[in-house]
Amino acid sequence: MATTTKQYGITPPMSVALPEQKDIEKNAELIEELKRENNYETQEATKKRMSTLALLQRCLIEFVKHVALGKQHSPQQVEKYGGKIVAYGSYRLGVYGPGSDIDTLAVAPRHITRDDFFKHFPDTLRRLVTEDAIGFLVPVHDAFVPIIKLQLYGIEIDLIFASINGLESVDKTLNLSDNKLLDGMDQATVRAVTGPRVTDEILRLVPEAKTFRTALRAIKLWAQRRAIYANIVGFPGGVAWAMLVARVCQFYPHAIGATIVSKFFFIMKDWKWPQPVLLKDIEPQKGNDKVWNPALYNGDRKNLMPIITPAYPSMCATYNISQSNKTVILRELERGAKITNNIFFGAGKWSDLFEKHTFFTKDHKYYLSVIASCKGKDDIKAWSGLVESKIRILVGQLELIKDQISLARPYVKGFARAHRCADEANGNAVGASGAEEPPSGGNFHTHTFYIGIDLTPSAQKNLNISAAISYFKGVCQGWQDYDANIHFLDAVPVRAHELPDDLFDKAKGEVKPARPPKKKPLARPNGDANGASTGPDAKRPNDDSNGVSAGPDTKRQKTANGTTTPTPAATVTIAPA
């Protein structure tokens, strides 16, 4: 009697073959390479994570009690209210490693509000720990999902909040998978509980959790090394990559980790986007809940690479992927397919797959530096986070110049720098906000974000992108906490050879691009074809005519520590070589 294989996902499997000896050998090699790459955390470090989460749990209980007593609830009631810290993301999936942050959700009963959380939770935490335990704590009220970003005992934590309307108390055994808990929730709270619900659904929908985890560790490492892992700037984030790997696991339910990695590239490089990636059928919309539906919502029709969350209400985890980022992702998938094919034919090794990107060393001739600066160290954390969250808007504005710009690719993170400014001139070099300059002198803190820019063959000699930059600045300066005397923002085009030295890891052999040689005009005895003089007194063409220019008023100044900080003019132009 033939046995049937359980179907995972919305289609039958592509293959139910069992692993062969070669698959087993390549899987062992993959795991060894992941260990060499320091992808697994020590038991001691994991215990530290667990104790940190336990501390957050105690803090949540104390916070709920404090707020409830302040609202005149009786002490007897307060003791019953409870609360629960729910970890999700890479920690819940079991693919965290050294330095990984922890995504957490604080679940509270209905009488505790989001405003209560942002007002009282930070102070409650500070009362429970020593001052040096908290590296930083930054509330971000106006994020798509309001969040507190903090570092506790050296572990970075993203903490979001949800108040459950239907619950007067929250027990530690609470299961967020129950759809009835969504009744009466506002959209911000629905988005908050979606993270844990999606994580649990992913684990439920994969054939073999161990295989899924091995493959996901490899794909996450590959995406990070190739600089295509960052939801905030429009690349897939951790949950999106996890769903892609889970879908491949559904296609090959009996395969092992290394085989899944190989099939991942084989399938995803030829995926028929914008056909969505689904782990299960989308549950129909109920009431006023918004469920991903391109037939109904114009915004959903614009998704370029839709990867749909399996928990109700289904959402697109990759709604912010730009055309440029899609181009880069597809290019990297092609590269990954070639490398894994070589690995299985014995002509390559896993370390080839994990080679670092060449974003700064060779990928682009031109870059746009976006510099967020503040004088106060505490101010820069929130301001730079706001600016980073809007980088994708600047990318979108640059992509509108499609006849001139073929690619606008954001780097996946910003670079923090500190500057000592001794005088007025140096103080003005750190940052500018429209017509205003930061106060002179003192210390400045900057976060710089880079966008690699490729021009089309028909790009104009002087391409003006000042309108895109002005629009971007206006969006950032519309932040509710924006203060023109505190927050400064620059956007400066630079060539590859002008990039700061600290972007290059010389210890690992990274070489900063060299300044291109100037083109010498052909000498003619009596001038050129147009009668222009070519003698010794003839003027050399301006070097910026063949590169990146910030306009006629561009000036470059140095801070006291020697770091060059460009100050942009009102008109920003890019000139192709």
Q: What is the average per-residue pLDDT within 58-86?
A: 95
Question: Which neighbouring-strand residues pair with 87?
Answer: 104
Q: Which residues of 548-571 are buried (b: 16+ CB within 10 A; e: fewer)?
A: bbbbeebeeeebeeebebbbbbeb
Condensed to tens digits (0 to 9), the pLDDT of residues 275-294 reads 999 999 999 988 888 899 99
CA gap 491, 444 in Å, rounded: 17
At residue 426 the predicted structure's pLDDT band, cuts being 50, 70 and 90, is: very low
Catalytic site includes residue 220: yes
The residues with which 453 forms a beta bridge, in sequence order, are 366, 408
pLDDT tens digits, residue range 2-23? 456 789 999 999 999 999 999 9
Specify whether the CB–CB gap between 420 and 559 falls below 8 A. yes
pLDDT at position 313, please? 94
pLDDT > 50? residue 297:
yes
Distance separating alpha carbons of residues 345 and 23, to the nearest angstrom: 11
What's the pLDDT at 541? 38
> Residue type at 203?
L
HEC secondary structure over 257-306: HHHHHHHHHHHHCCCCCCCCECCCCCCCCCCCCCCCCCCCCHHHHCCCCC
Residue from 84, 220, 263, 381 carrying the catalytic annotation = 220
Q: Which pLDDT score, from 0 to 100, does residue 363 have?
A: 97
* Binding-site residues from annotation for ATP: 101-103, 158, 220, 229, 238-239
Percent of the chain with pLDDT over 70: 85
DSSP 139: E
Has 229 been annotated as catalytic?
Answer: yes
Burial 33-61 (b: 16+ CB within 10 A, else e): bbeebebebeeebeeebeebbebbbebbb
pLDDT for 252 beyond 50: yes
Given a contact cutoff of 8 angstroms between Cβ atoms, the answer to whether 118 and 146 are in contact is: yes
Residue 367 · residue 451 · CB < 8 Å: yes
Identify the weakest region by mean pLDDT among 163-177, 371-385, 543-557.
Answer: 543-557
| Average of per-residue pLDDT across 479-505 | 94
Of residues 372 and 144, more confidently modeled: 372
Q: Given the structure tokens 């073999």, which residue do they identify?
A: 208
**Which H, E and C letters describe 20-54, residue by residue?**
CHHHHHHHHHHHHHHHHCCCCCCHHHHHHHHHHHH
Q: Which residues are annotated as a binding site for Mg(2+)?
A: 101, 103, 158
- Catalytic pick from 23, 116, 158, 490? 158
Check 26, 96, 103, 263 and give the catalytic one.
Answer: 103
Structure tokens at 207: 């054939």
For residue 184, what pLDDT is reported? 85
What Å distances lie between residue 89 and 147, 180, 313, 380, CA to CA?
15, 23, 18, 27
Q: What is the largest distance, in Å, between two alpha-carbon atoms of the chain?
A: 101
What does the alpha-carbon distance between residue 26 and residue 344 come to, in Å, rounded to a whole number?
Answer: 7
Query: Which residues fall in the annotated binding site?
Result: 101-103, 158, 220, 229, 238-239
Sketch out the chain's domains with CATH numbers: 21-36+206-353 (1.10.1410.10), 43-198 (3.30.460.10), 359-516+526-574 (3.30.70.590)
Contact 319, 303 (CB under 8 A): yes
Write down the catalytic residue from 101, 352, 454, 544: 101
Of 76-80, 147-151, 172-176, 554-558, the one with minimum mean pLDDT is 554-558
DSSP code at position 544? G
Instruction: Classify the phi-psi angles of 77: left when phi > 0, otherwise alpha if psi is within -120 to 50, otherwise beta.
Output: alpha
Average pLDDT, the chain: 87
Confidence of residue 420 (pLDDT cuts 50, 70, 90): confident
Q: CB 529: neighbour CB atoms within 10 A?
A: 7
Q: Which of 229, 312, 411, 450 is catalytic?
A: 229
Could you confirm whether 158 is annotated as catalytic? yes
* Backbone φ/ψ region at 264: left (φ over 0), alpha (ψ -120 to 50), beta: alpha
CA distances from 353 to 41, 219, 220 (A): 21, 10, 12
Task: Using alpha carbons only, give the angle 499, 503, 504 rounded to the nearest 5 degrees.
Answer: 105
Q: For this structure, is 375 an active site residue?
A: no
Reported as a pLDDT band with limits 50, 70 and 90, residue 131 is: confident
Extract the tokens encoding 458.
């028909």
Q: What is the pLDDT of residue 432?
A: 36
